[in-house]
Amino acid sequence: MSSTANRRGFTRALRALTAVVSTLALVACGGGNGNSAAKSESVGSNLEEIAAKAKEEGEVRLIAYPETWANYKGHFAGFEEKYGVKVKVDSPDASSAEELQAVENLKGQATQPDVLDIGYSFTNAAIDRGLIDPYKPSNWDSIPDHLKDPDGNWVGAYYGVIAIGVNMDKVKEVPKTFADLKDPQYKGQIAIPGDPRQGASSIATVFAASLANGGSLDDIQPGIDFFAELADSGNLVTVSSAAAGLTQGEADIIFDWNYNWLGREEQLRADGVNFQYFVLEDGVFGNYYAQPVTVNSPQPNAARLWVDWLTSDEGAEQYALGGAIPARFTELAEAGKLSDEALASLPDPEIVAQVKLPSAEQGDKANKVIASEWAKKVKM
């Protein structure tokens, strides 16, 4: 596909998606006071001051930011080069639930994370537990309403779609739909990336299965029932992680975000896996990850500067290079500010047009159903 056609297609798709999602009520519970900076006098009052103070702080401390996830390796390099602030990442593979627990456990300590990267369905919990300092980055007004909390508790800087990573040497016929996954030929070959009671990518996988089996964004139960059936048949297995599952032969068809598979593609092939990834034809599901500043973070200016970077033109380019759709995609694509390489790394426009994004409230509801039903139904 040519870059021009790609840009046009993405712009149309994102406009359609924005029109649908903007009708959702994404109002988080409690929390922020609507101010664009923390109450502390140590925080700069504008981006220039924040950048200067962040350089004095010297570092930003993150959690759950793997280098191969949404091209965070590129983000780290760009941020450090532009601002002279070192990026430190603790527990890069932590789940969203573990991120919240880490803030609670480390609150007030030097090792407390400054900024999180949590699934949308964990945003209300983070607010309710008092783990967030509201902050509205400098380009707040250009971020779509459905990708930010109105009080500034979080922004959703990017999103993606659920895809399957496949070892082509082990899978004779690549499944095209969720129904195909029930075929006995896939016995012992299918896995989700983790426990849906803990991680957003696994919850998203169950949501996708629900949409493909008569469910909706308000009803995740059919997705649970689907994976219960796969487990009973022996088709569903557990893996230590999505990438290790393929390299170690734990499974041959594994669900995860499209941008994660893109980020791992080179390494998987270097490890000897004949790898490709696909989006199934039904159950096309996506959601955003949110990047809130933690309450009383050790490096409050560096924390805010990181959020500004993620939502900047440069940050959007890095996300797109990693296959993640940046929050400001439509604006930047129309202005020709994303490179051809970045556009080519994103999902096909036809796929983007089908993406369904849930609200935080729908995510909360799904979390409760999964917490209640998963262990009872899915016997592994």
Question: Is the pTM higher than 0.95?
Answer: no
Same domain as 373, residue 295: no
pLDDT tens digits for the chain (380 residues)? 333 334 334 444 455 444 444 433 333 333 333 333 334 469 999 999 999 999 999 999 999 999 999 999 999 999 999 999 999 999 999 999 999 999 999 999 999 999 999 998 899 999 999 999 999 999 999 999 999 999 999 999 999 999 999 999 999 999 999 999 999 999 999 999 999 998 889 999 999 999 999 999 999 999 999 999 999 999 999 999 999 999 999 999 999 999 999 999 999 999 999 999 999 999 999 999 999 999 999 999 999 999 999 999 999 999 999 999 999 998 999 999 999 999 999 998 888 888 888 988 899 999 999 999 999 999 98
Same domain as 330, residue 304: yes
Residue 356 carries which side chain, given as an amino acid letter?
A: K
Q: Is residue 72 part of a domain?
A: yes
Contacts of residue 64, Cβ cutoff 8 Å, sequence gap at least 6? 91, 92, 93, 94, 95, 96, 98, 99, 116, 117, 118
Given a contact cutoff of 8 angstroms between Cβ atoms, the answer to whether 159 and 287 are in contact is yes
% helix, strand, coil for the chain, step of 5 = 45, 15, 40
Same domain as 323, residue 198: no
Q: Is residue 250 part of a domain?
A: yes
Instruction: Enumerate the β-bridge partners of residue 219.
Output: 216
Q: Given this model, what pLDDT does residue 29 score?
A: 33
Same domain as 89, residue 153: yes
Rounded to 10 degrees, the C-alpha dihedral 294/318/75/48 comes to -70
Same domain as 244, residue 113: no
Same domain as 209, residue 164: yes
List the CATH number of the domain containing 135.
3.40.190.10
Given a contact cutoff of 8 angstroms between Cβ atoms, the answer to whether 61 and 299 are in contact is yes
Same domain as 146, residue 73: yes
Same domain as 14, residue 144: yes
Same domain as 309, residue 237: no
Q: Is residue 39 part of a domain?
A: yes
Q: Is residue 358 part of a domain?
A: no
Packed helices 221-233 and 200-212: angle between N→C axes, nearest 10 degrees: 90
Query: Residue 140 in 3-state DSSP?
Result: helix
Same domain as 142, residue 15: yes
Residue 288's H or E segment, with its range, is strand 286-290
Tokens of 291: 């990047």
Q: Is the C-alpha dihedral spanning 181, 187, 189, 194 positive or negative?
A: positive
β-strands 190-191, 253-257 pairing: parallel
Same domain as 113, residue 174: no
* Cα separation, 302 vs 309, whole angstroms: 10
> According to DSSP H, which parts of 107-176 are helical?
123-128
Q: Domain residues for 78?
A: 3-157+291-347
β-strands 275-278, 325-326 pairing: unpaired
Residue 56 carries which side chain, given as an amino acid letter?
A: E
* Cα separation, 376 vs 229, whole angstroms: 12
Q: How many domains does the chain have?
A: 2
Q: Given this model, what pLDDT does residue 41 score?
A: 65
State how far the alpha carbon of 50 is from the alpha carbons of 37, 206, 291, 296, in Å: 10, 40, 17, 15
Q: Is residue 16 part of a domain?
A: yes
**Residue 62 CA to its chain's centroid (Å):** 15
Same domain as 272, residue 300: no
Closest listed residue to residue 295, CA positions, set 53, 27, 116: 116
Q: Is residue 307 part of a domain?
A: yes
Q: Given this model, what pLDDT does residue 294 score?
A: 99
Q: Is residue 354 part of a domain?
A: no
Q: Given this model, what pLDDT does residue 301 score?
A: 99
